[in-house]
Amino acid sequence: MRDFLAALAERLKHNPTSYENYLRIYVPDGQPLKCEPKEALRVNVLFQHIQNMLSGESAVIAETGDSWFNCQKLKLPQG
């Protein structure tokens, strides 16, 4: 197995694109990013606004796909 992995490593090209995209969109729990005025709206900034709108009287319904994963990070208030 060691020989196989060593040979495979020689044939692979390093491609950090997925990891760079992950770092660009990742938002740690409870630390939404800030947005400058006139800056393009990003998904993580949009969810910061959604987070601020939630109350104990709110319900969150998420579609499948990206919004479902982003809604998993929302912190729901009591109630």
DSSP designation for 41:
P
**Distance between CA atoms of 16 and 22, rounded to whole angstroms?**
10
What tens digit of pLDDT does each residue of 14-53 get? Answer: 999 999 988 877 766 655 566 678 878 777 778 888 888 8
**Distance between CA atoms of 22 and 18, rounded to whole angstroms?**
6
pTM (2 d.p.): 0.50
**Which residue bears the tokens 């709110």?**
58
Higher pLDDT among residues 76 and 28, named by residue: 76
Domain edges within the chain: 2-71
C-alpha dihedral, 76 to 24 to 66 to 50, nearest 10° = 30
pLDDT of residue 17: 93
Please state the rounded mean pLDDT for residues 4-21.
92
| Inter-CA distances, 6 with 12, 13, 29, Å | 10, 13, 37
pLDDT of residue 45: 77
